[in-house]
Every structure is written in C-alpha cells, then in structure tokens.
Amino acid sequence: AHDPFGFLGLTYDDVLLLPGYSDLAPTDIDTTSRLTREISLKVPLVSAAMDTVTESRMAIAMARQGGLGVLHRNLSIADQAYQVDLVKRTQTGIISNPVTIGPDATLEQLDERAGQYRVSGFPVLDAAGLLVGIVTNRDLRFTPVAEWATTTVSEVMTPQPLITGRAGISREDATALLRKHKLERLPLVDDEGRLAGLITVKDFVKSEQFPDASKDGQGRLMVGAAIGYFGDAWERATTLIDAGVDVLVADTAHGNVRMLIDMVRRLKSDPATKDVQVIGGNVATKEGAQSFVDAGADGIKVGVGPGSICTTRVVTGVGVPQITAVYEASLAARAAGVPVIADGGMRHSGEIGKAIVAGAEAVMLGSMLAGTEEAPGDQILVNGKQFKAYRGMGSMGAMSSRGKKSYSKDRYFQAEVASDDMIVPEGVEGQVPYKGTLATVAHQLVGGLHQTMFYVGARTVPELQANGRFVRITSASLKESHPHDIMMTVEAPNYTVS
C-alpha cells in the first residue's frame, strides 16, 4: 500500500549532482539526446507550447539552435497549421515545396503573397505546373503602385530560358551554379520541366551558420505543435500532420485521462497518422507514464504544477515535486525505451543536468525563454528596465475571452465553462526580464549543460544518466549554493537577481 507520509517529493533545489572523475576535453562532450523514440536533438531543449513563448519565430530559432519549438494551440486550427508551414518553409538548404505563383496573377496579388509567406521571390508556374519564369520583389519596383492591380506577373517576370538545376543536384554543383551566374535563386526542375525545388543563396548561407539545426529527412527545420483531446482535437491533429508537423505534443495539465490516452492510441494506430511522433502528457507518476507507454506514445512529458506561472498545486492541492515526478515517470518510460521530457520549473542551466540524471532526456522551458526577442509580444518598459509579458495558459488572460477567443481552455477542463466569471484559473499573468536573442540564452543553457557533463565526467547524455548521482541538500546548503554574503553589483548572463 502507498505510505502517505513516507513518500517524499523532491525538486531541483533539494538536490545537487556529485562531481565525478573526468578525463574529457570540451570537444568530447556531446549533448545529443532523444526527444521521442525516433527524434534526436543535438540540444535537448524544447520551448513551451504557450502563447507568450512559442509561435513560428521561436520555433524557427529553437530548431536552428538544435532544439525544438512546440507551437501553442491558443489559435484556430488554420492559424496553427499555417505556423507549422512557416517553419517548414524556412529552409536551411533546398526548399522542396516552394511557394509559387501563376503568370496571370496581378502584381497586387504577388505583393500580398510575398508578405503572407515572407518570401521575396517566386517560381512562376503555368496551369500545367511547368516552370515558365521567376519573379522577385525587385521586378515590382519598375511598375508604379497604381498599376499593380492591372499588371500581371508574366509582364514583369524573368521568363524562360532560365538557369535551372536538375532535381537531386548536389550541394557542390548548386553552389557552383549560383556562383558562376551570380544567382540569388536556383529553381530545380525534373525531366519534364516541372518544378522540383528551389535553392536560395540566403538559405545556403544560413545552413552553414547553424550546424546543429534540427532537421527532418528532407532538410527542413523540425517543429512540434500542441494538441488537446476535446471537441475538434482530431481535426487539429490531422491538419497539423498535413501541414508537415514532426511531433504532436499533448498539451494538457492532466494527461492521465481516458479521452487523451484513447486519442494517443488512435494517432499511433491509424495508418494515416501513425508515422507522426506523439508526446503524451502531462503526468507526474509512474502509473501516468505507464498509461502513455501502453497507448504507444513516443515520448512522455512530465510536470504537474512546477511551472513558474502555475497555481495548480495551490488551487487544487495536487502535484508532485519535479525531480521525484521525473524519476517516477522514468521508472515506467525507461523500461519501454520512451523518452521523458521534464516540463516546467527550470530557472537555471544547472537544472537541465539534474532533470537528465533524474530520468529525463529533454527539458521544456517557459519562463526562461519568454523574455527572448523571438517570443511573441513586445518589450515593456518598467522603471527603465525592459520586460516581456509571460502568462500561464491556465491564467484568466489566456482562458477568458478578454482580447480574443480562447481555443485551449480544455487544457484545464474549462472548455464548457459558459462565461468568463465562471472560470477557475490555475495560472497567473506577469512579466519576465527581456533577455535579447534566443541564441544568446541558448548558448548559456547549453554551455551550462556542457559544464555539468564535465563535472560529472559524462561524455554523452546517456552517460550522464548512467553516471550522475544525487546528494540531497538542506535549506542551509541551498543558501550556500547561491551567491551569499555579497551585494551583487553586476548581473551575469546566466545569473540574475529577480
């Protein structure tokens, strides 16, 4: 029987990792880890599916750093799928499915399309799908705006014969062609003259800048998207799959519910959906993790109540301190080879290694990323310091109709609550300091994890899991861990006084 008071819950601040023998050079250390059964990331960081954390801009930045963004679902199905599309089209190499335009489109339509997809040039395809020309923003410049509505693409485009590459061209050959002809874009065509892809100089250069980028089999950036289990959840899931999502992430405060487990089982058994990776959650016990293992989930997300903006433990009295939750879930997940993702409660880079040793293979971050440039929302100036808004998805702001329609209330079992004043929130709204670009923040987080691995003496994440050992600490020790007996005068990039 469960011993109610012998079962102790521990969290990040209750433990430290023991230093171990180390014979490692910095270049030996490899932070590659699994996110799901089939997806590995060079950097085991995932941005939270929250409307103040992850939209396409964050997802692109996360994937470029070697992590992954999970697009939030407080959006219509069409809007969320459109964001998946934006990430998948942000190429780091060859664009396999470029946005195109027809020769009879007007320049007004061209301009609109360029803004909608944030691209500056299009291959022009005729009705039969044959490449007939290429048109760019520059071609607009010589036509007065007043004539855009009546001028067609075919009048301003560069028509065939164009310099093109064959489908399947090597990187070297493509680079040579771009150089030789000083091209900005190289359309790729198959034997019949149909468009097979597009290479842009810009994307080629970028892929060199992001050697760790998380990419799918076609070289496109990877992206995750949040789903629920209520109402039109199935339609949302299948629409996201059609848009090219790599990972569907169950996004609910309490995942151990029949409807969600059934949905995960269906996603992993239906021939139309079973190839997409599915992360179940959130759970905080061994039994909760086992339910998702049994349903065929590819990853299990753990965290009930640890989030910085979360009041679930206070409002409901339910939760499990995060180190214990991750450990308990991993008892079921590890035996089945399913990765655990530790979600919520992280404040410093040192907690990433602690989560891994407790049994996680990746971590999900909200507050640590909400202050970056790439998070949705503008900077707020308060007393001369810059902040960005950050709110719980269970807060009044995210669940009430204040501002706009809420699509994700079922995350907190509030889907059918009729009016705003009947909502029982489980989160709060606030702000976090502005932190600059995601790249600078990610650098500190990954750098911190590198150091963890050096201290423990672990070359790889599996070695860290195997060799890492905890010591439990007291509140006096916690004081010793932080700067003490000094008045800090300069903030470090990875340590601030809040």
Q: Is position 393 an interface residue for ligand RVP (rule: CB under 6 A)?
A: yes
Nearer to ligand RVP, 153 or 340 (CB): 340
Residue with tokens 């060799």: 467
Is 366 marked as binding a ligand?
A: yes
Question: What mask of x and - would describe binding to ligand RVP in positions 342 to 381, judged by CB under 6 A?
Answer: -xxxx-----------------xxxx--------------
- The binder of ligand RVP chosen from 312, 324, 408, 431 (CB under 6 A): 312
- Sequence length of the chain is 498
Is 441 marked as binding a ligand?
A: no
Nearer to ligand RVP, 33 or 92 (CB): 33
Interface segment toward ligand RVP; rule CB under 6 A; list 181-189, 308-316, 354-362, 485-493 = 308-316
Q: Is position 114 an interface residue for ligand RVP (rule: CB under 6 A)?
A: no
Distances (CA, A) of 102 to 94, 99, 154, 155, 445: 21, 11, 8, 12, 46
Taking the complex as a whole, the smallest distance from the CB of residue 432 to ligand RVP amounts, in Å, to: 9
- Where does residue 82 rank: exposed (0-12), middle (13-18), buried (19+ CB within 10 A)? middle
Q: Is position 308 an interface residue for ligand RVP (rule: CB under 6 A)?
A: yes
- Where does residue 208 rank: exposed (0-12), middle (13-18), buried (19+ CB within 10 A)? exposed
Distances (CA, A) of 237 to 11, 100, 170, 248: 33, 26, 35, 7
Q: Is position 95 an interface residue for ligand RVP (rule: CB under 6 A)?
A: no
296 φ/ψ sector (left φ>0, alpha ψ -120 to 50, else beta): left
**Catalytic residue list contains 310:** yes
Q: How far apart are CA 112 and CA 159, in angstroms?
A: 21
- The binder of ligand RVP chosen from 394, 434, 442, 456 (CB under 6 A): 394
Nearer to ligand RVP, 197 or 425 (CB): 425
Is 392 marked as binding a ligand?
A: yes
Beta-bridge partner residues of 200: 185
Nearer to ligand RVP, 299 or 303 (CB): 303
Taking the complex as a whole, the smallest distance from the CB of residue 444 to ligand RVP amounts, in Å, to: 15
Which residue type sits at 5? F
Beta-bridge partner residues of 215: 221
Question: What mask of x and - would describe binding to ligand RVP in positions 35 to 74, judged by CB under 6 A?
Answer: -------------x-x------------------------
CA 158, 160, 161, 166 torsion: positive or negative?
Answer: positive
Q: Is position 431 an interface residue for ligand RVP (rule: CB under 6 A)?
A: no
Is 393 marked as binding a ligand?
A: yes
- Residues carrying an active site annotation: 310, 411
Task: Indicate the annotated binding residues for NAD(+).
Answer: 251, 303-305
